[in-house]
Structure 1
Amino acid sequence: MTHISPAYRVRRGASTLRRFFARVAGDQSGAAAIELGLLAPVLTLMMVSVIDIGRGVYRKMQVEDAAQVGAQYAMRNGFDASAISNAVVSATNFSSIAASPAPVQFCGCATGSGINTVSCGTTCPGGAVAGTYTTVSAQATYSSLLNYQIVPQNYNFSAQSTARLQ
């Protein structure tokens, strides 16, 4: 029976480990799968976040469009608060839009900076008679897909549109 010294066994084991690690370090198979496994969660979170932001912007645009549809309805059909509110609510497929506060009708004089509210029949500074206006409002709440912890999860969108009726 031959006796193998412990020092030989250590050298032989170290040599075997060096060959193994040299072979593994040079092996590139599976590297792409590991990289994808590490990056996939980050890329997925980025994609979901971009979609979430896009949905929020789209919802904001729907609220603005609903207020404008209400003002256009009033211009075509005259002031009817209930009918204008129905036009606002049914303007888009976003079911949580509300006509709040309710549409209002007022008389005013147009200026370079906006509309000054005056009594109906008043003569404006330019000599014209005060016009009849309506202000239509729309509101909705948007809830994001994920709770990001650093920004609110719910956003309250509101829009107003004012139009001259006559």
Structure 2
Amino acid sequence: MMRLYAQTASGALFALRTLFDHSGRSIAGVMSIELALILPALALCIICVADLGLGIYRKMQVQSAAQAGAEYAAVHGYDQNGTTNAILAATSYSGVSAAPQPQLYCGCASATGVVAAACGSICASGSAAGQFVQASASATYQTVLAYPLLPKSFALTAQSTVRIK
């Protein structure tokens, strides 16, 4: 009787060892299943982050194009065609346009920006109104995937203003 009990106990121990054995052979299937479950979610996250990064990069390109137009006006004075060409040539992104066209206007600098004023007038600070050029750039970014609660496309705009006189 004792011998039968010993065989049964050793058989149970063997079954428990086999159940909790962590050798590579017993968990290889589990790892494959985990990978199959996680991989699509991971791939979707990578695509979403890349899409968001590309959208931010496109916005930076639009901002740089507007800044390049203002820099051109600061160096060369107001030249609508030259400023427009500087905006378009500032980036390799073909979707950028110089819209609205660069504008020349007079105004007075204030803490909140430039207040429109008549050319030659005197500002509240006592200085003469200056000439300003406003360069604008715009583009549209289309997302790679359609996201819930977000539009499929975004309008990207930027403006840069510089005093030339």
TM-score tier after normalising by the smaller chain length: 0.7 to 0.9
Structure 1's 25 and 152: CA in aligned 2 closer, same or farther, altered over 3 A? farther
Paired position in structure 1 for 2:87: 88
Paired position in structure 2 for 1:104: 103
What fraction of aligned residue pairs are identical, expressed as a percent? Answer: 41
Q: How far apart, in 2, do the equivalents of 1:158 and 1:92 lie?
A: 14
Please report how far the alpha carbon of residue 25 of structure 1 lies from its aligned counterpart in structure 2 after TM superposition: 8.9
Paired position in structure 1 for 2:35: 36
Count matched residues.
145
TM-score normalised over the length of structure 1: 0.82
Superimposed CA distance per residue, residues 116-152 of structure 1 (whole angstroms, 9 cap, x where no aligned partner): 1111111112221111101111100001111124311
Q: How far apart, in 2, do the equivalents of 1:88 and 1:78 lie?
A: 15
Work out whether 1:147 is the aligned partner of 2:146. yes
Paired position in structure 1 for 2:130: 131
Q: How far apart, in 1, do the equivalents of 2:128 and 2:147 lie?
A: 53
Please report how far the alpha carbon of residue 112 of structure 1 lies from its aligned counterpart in structure 2 after TM superposition: 1.8
- Unpaired runs of 5+ in structure 1? 1-22
Q: How far apart, in 1, do the equivalents of 2:43 and 2:132 lie?
A: 49
Tell me the secondary structure at the aligned position of residue 28 of structure 1: helix
Q: How far apart, in 1, do the equivalents of 2:58 and 2:19 lie?
A: 53
Structure 1's 126 and 150: CA in aligned 2 closer, same or farther, altered over 3 A? closer
TM-score normalised over the length of structure 2: 0.82
Please report how far the alpha carbon of residue 30 of structure 1 lies from its aligned counterpart in structure 2 after TM superposition: 1.9
Tell me the secondary structure at the aligned position of residue 29 of structure 1: helix
Please report how far the alpha carbon of residue 28 of structure 1 lies from its aligned counterpart in structure 2 after TM superposition: 2.0
Paired position in structure 1 for 2:113: 114
Q: How far apart, in 1, do the equivalents of 2:28 and 2:82 lie?
A: 68
- Unpaired runs of 5+ in structure 2? 1-17
Paired position in structure 2 for 1:11: none
